[in-house]
Each structure stands twice: as structure tokens, then as C-alpha cells.
């Protein structure tokens, strides 16, 4: 999901380079020198836009939420199906395609979270907020599907999502298909019809 573009103004070049590098390599592996080299700007230009590397990362996380969470994930499942249960399952269809891409980069929010053990670290806090946004989206779909306990269901479904991402990154490109099968069972357990022969 690279969005780096050459040309444009310096801010766009920095944002594009940061998105590409942080998504692909994580935060710790990318230093300021690598970032400015990829962006094609001077170090003083970078610091004119962002006073610190942390500021660049925070901007990257906001952009990742806009591109990955809102445009790709939410937008994709809304286009994929009309029924909430089918939208929930469609997440794993989208993941399956994503996991089989050569540029599959895993979840930037999880990676940043794992890279920062201090719970008070602003990057860890920001990552957690973005992860919570995804779970909130799942909770909304669960409520629309009339799941008895949308919050508990959302936490369970979110575990399936994050677990499948990590499994795929560890080398199982079919992890989304396995997660979808478990998801269908979870829907059936909550008496939600999924259109796949499960549910009440």
C-alpha cells in the first residue's frame, strides 16, 4: 500500500516517504537520514515540517488510519456487502487478498505498539488509539447484526483480525481464510446468520 510520490511539495514528499518506509520497515529501523534520502529533501526541510522524528511518526499513524482503516478497510467492506454479518466476513476476504500481495507489510499500528514497551510513550498511545478505532468499527457492525454483546464480540473478532495479520506476516498467507472459518463459527454461536449456512 505504498503511496510515495516523487515531485510535489516537500511536505508531500516527506509524508509519502514516511508512509512507505514506516509501513514497510517499522519505526525503529528508519532513521532521519534514511527518511530524508527517500524523500529527497534536506534535513533542515524535514525539521521545518516536523520538529522531531516522533512528530513524523504521529503524522504517519494519522495518515495510516485515513488510508488503511477508513478508506481501505471500512470503505472496502461497505462496498463488499450490505448485511453487517457479511461485512464482518468480508474483512477476511480483503485480508486474504492483502496477505497474498508481494508488498504485504502487516499492521503498522501493531508494529509501532510492539516497538514501544513504555505504556506512556506517545507513539504507543497513538497506536493503541488507532487500534481501538478498528475495534469500534467492528463493534458497530456487531450491533447492527444484533449480536447480544457487541463489545465482547468486537474484542473476539479483533483478536481474529490481529492474529491473522501476525500469522500471515510469520509466513502463513492463508491465515485470513482460516480466520474467516473461525469467524463464521463465532457468528453462529451468537445466532447471527451469515449467508454461508451458519447462524439461526
Q: Please report, for the domain that includes residue 152, its CATH number.
A: 1.10.357.10
Answer yes or no: is 136 within a domain. Answer: yes
Answer yes or no: is 144 within a domain. Answer: yes
* Model confidence pLDDT, tens digit, residues 17-69: 999 999 999 999 999 999 999 999 999 999 999 999 999 999 999 999 999 99
Distance separating alpha carbons of residues 105 and 122, to the nearest angstrom: 22
* Model confidence pLDDT, tens digit, residues 101-133: 999 999 999 999 999 999 999 999 999 999 999
Q: Contact, 44 vs 36, CB < 8 A?
A: no
Domain that holds residue 71: 54-189
Distance separating alpha carbons of residues 58 and 120, to the nearest angstrom: 14
How many CA atoms lie within 13 Å of 136's alpha carbon, on the beta-carbon side? 8
Answer yes or no: is 49 within a domain. Answer: no
- If phi over 0 gives left and psi between -120 and 50 gives alpha, with beta otherwise, what is residue 11? alpha
Answer yes or no: is 114 within a domain. Answer: yes
* Model confidence pLDDT, tens digit, residues 126-159: 999 999 999 999 999 999 999 999 999 999 999 9
Answer yes or no: is 142 within a domain. Answer: yes
Answer yes or no: is 46 within a domain. Answer: no
Answer yes or no: is 17 within a domain. Answer: no
Q: What are phi and psi of 22, to 5 degrees?
A: -65, -35
Distance separating alpha carbons of residues 114 and 96, to the nearest angstrom: 23
Total domains present in the chain: 1
Answer yes or no: is 83 within a domain. Answer: yes
Tell me the whole-structure pTM to 2 decimals.
0.88
Q: Given this model, what pLDDT does residue 185 score?
A: 96
Amino acid at each position: 500500500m505504498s503511496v510515495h510520490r516523487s515531485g510535489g511539495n516537500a511536505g508531500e514528499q516527506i509524508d509519502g516517504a514516511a508512509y512507505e518506509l514506516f509501513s514497510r520497515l517499522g519505526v525503529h529501523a528508519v532513521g532521519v537520514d534514511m527518511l530524508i534520502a527517500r524523500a529527497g529533501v534536506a534535513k533542515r526541510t524535514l525539521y521545518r515540517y516536523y520538529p522531531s522524528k516522533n512528530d513524523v511518526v504521529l503524522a504517519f499513524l494519522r495518515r495510516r488510519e485515513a488510508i488503511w482503516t477508513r478508506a481501505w478497510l471500512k470503505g472496502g467492506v461497505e462496498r463488499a456487502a450490505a448485511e453487517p454479518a457479511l461485512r464482518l466476513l468480508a474483512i477476511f476476504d480483503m485480508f486474504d487478498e492483502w496477505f497474498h500481495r508481494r508488498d504485504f507489510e502487516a499492521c503498522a499500528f501493531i508494529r509501532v505498539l510492539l516497538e514501544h514497551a513504555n505504556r506512556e510513550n506517545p507513539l504507543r498511545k497513538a497506536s493503541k488509539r488507532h487500534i481501538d478505532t478498528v475495534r469500534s468499527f467492528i463493534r458497530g457492525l456487531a450491533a447492527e447484526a444484533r449480536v447480544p454483546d457487541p463489545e465482547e464480540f468486537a474484542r473476539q473478532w479483533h483478536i481474529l483480525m490481529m492474529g491473522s495479520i501476525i500469522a500471515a506476516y510469520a509466513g502463513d498467507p492463508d491465515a485470513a481464510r482460516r480466520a474467516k472459518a473461525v469467524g463464521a463459527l463465532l457468528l453462529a454461536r451468537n445466532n447471527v446468520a451469515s449467508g454461508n449456512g451458519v447462524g439461526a
